[in-house]
Amino acid sequence: MATLNDNYLKLKAGYLFPEIARRVNAFAEANPDAKIIRLGIGDVTEPLPAACRDAMVQAVEDMGNRDTFKGYGPEQGYAWLREKIAANDFQARGCEISADEIFISDGSKCDTGNILDIFGDDNIIAVTDPVYPVYVDTNVMAGHTGDANEKGEYGGLVYIPITAENNFTAAIPTQKVDLIYLCFPNNPTGATATQEHLTAWVEYAKANGSIILYDAAYEAFISDPSLPHSIYEIPGAKDCAIEFRSFSKTAGFTGTRCAFTVVPKTLTAKAKDGSDVELWKLWNRRQATKFNGVSYIIQRAAEAVYSEAGKAQVKALIQFYMENAQIIREQLTAAGLSVYGGENAPYVWVKTPQGLSSWDFFDKLLQTCNVVGTPGSGFGAAGEGYFRISAFNSRENVEEAMQRITAKFKV
């Protein structure tokens, strides 16, 4: 009889966002007239930039002509897109990243899990707490953890709390770890990392032979000019870090799927025989074996992000969502709630009022305000007592949601 991967049985009952969907659907069925405003899952609501849409239309036309038709593309992504990314996202910021160190994919969520394919099973892995659940769950699936305790913490992982008490800063571990997941601007707290803080992480990683898995999916929302957008702005990071980027929130590609991962050619890890092996070669082999690439049409749309029109339209899109975040911050703060984030990230992190647990606040907000957010405990034990509100929605919905919440929960 076929057997299964028992590691999946260690996963908690439901992945965070499907559980949110289950509760919301049950409420909607019982209250069909309720106007539910969803500020939970970080899905965009505004149309794709016109430059991207126009590029997709042209690419569809290309696919209808034998001379310009595209079949299988390079698994690493088309050179013309990788070159635009290298020039605009990295070289323009002083980062020595070349086009062939960039791998186009269908999502950074996928990449942050798939990257485990090239690492061994005996690494000590550190995650922040709270944390984007994919980092933890994919390690559980891969057999890198023990069982979860009553707080939901898995044996074998090193948890680094980020809370109001430490200003949402990921403290450098006192022990040696091998793989480190960092996400800045942070999902879910909206916190950012300074140049000095990332420098300390790079120095730690180089001193301990560690690899930083740096998720920069929200870097485009940074407005503070003193904050780094890429870990490669830190000297030495090319020797100890892999960076993940996405077009999902930057340009509204959640439904069209395009992202990329940067694996510097200077980055190595130890084989069991003690030799140093280039991770670029392993990731390149992994992608060529397990991935057939992102469609030509979508890559042309992503390329248009870097056109003059595309840059202006993306900037306007980001500004719109950040204005939403400002409204959320200001309204909830005026209501007397403790509010964090939302200044260089599209997420606002709220201390739950009235001593409510994260899930109790979720249920109360849904039932009394018909507003959906994300319970902080779903991101880890240190997220208990907090709540994430997303700025991804229409202006009308954001303003209406804030009116409802502040009327019910004004302190």
Measure the CA–CA gap between 216 and 199, rounded to whole angstroms: 16
Given a contact cutoff of 8 angstroms between Cβ atoms, the answer to whether 317 and 305 are in contact is no
Name residue, tokens 């439904």. Answer: 255
Given a contact cutoff of 8 angstroms between Cβ atoms, the answer to whether 153 and 185 are in contact is no
Q: How far is CA 406 from CA 323, 364, 400, in A?
A: 18, 13, 10
CA-based nearest residue to 27, from 353, 352, 368:
368
Tallying the residues shown for the chain, one arrives at 411
From the annotation, which residues make up the binding site for pyridoxal 5'-phosphate? 72, 108-109, 132, 187, 218, 246-248, 257, 292
Given a contact cutoff of 8 angstroms between Cβ atoms, the answer to whether 193 and 182 are in contact is yes
- Contacts by 402-406, CB closer than 8 A, 24 or more apart: 402/327, 402/328, 402/331, 402/332, 403/331, 404/37, 404/369, 404/370, 404/371, 405/331, 405/332, 405/335, 405/365, 405/369, 405/371, 406/331, 406/332, 406/334, 406/335
From the annotation, which residues make up the binding site? 15, 42, 72, 108-109, 132, 187, 218, 246-248, 257, 292, 388
Residue 127 tokens read as 């995650």
- Beta-bridge partner residues of 215: 183, 244
Given a contact cutoff of 8 angstroms between Cβ atoms, the answer to whether 131 and 374 are in contact is no
User: DSSP code of 365?
Assistant: I
From the annotation, which residues make up the binding site for substrate? 15, 42, 109, 132, 187, 292, 388
Q: Kind and range of the H or E element at 37?
A: strand 37-38
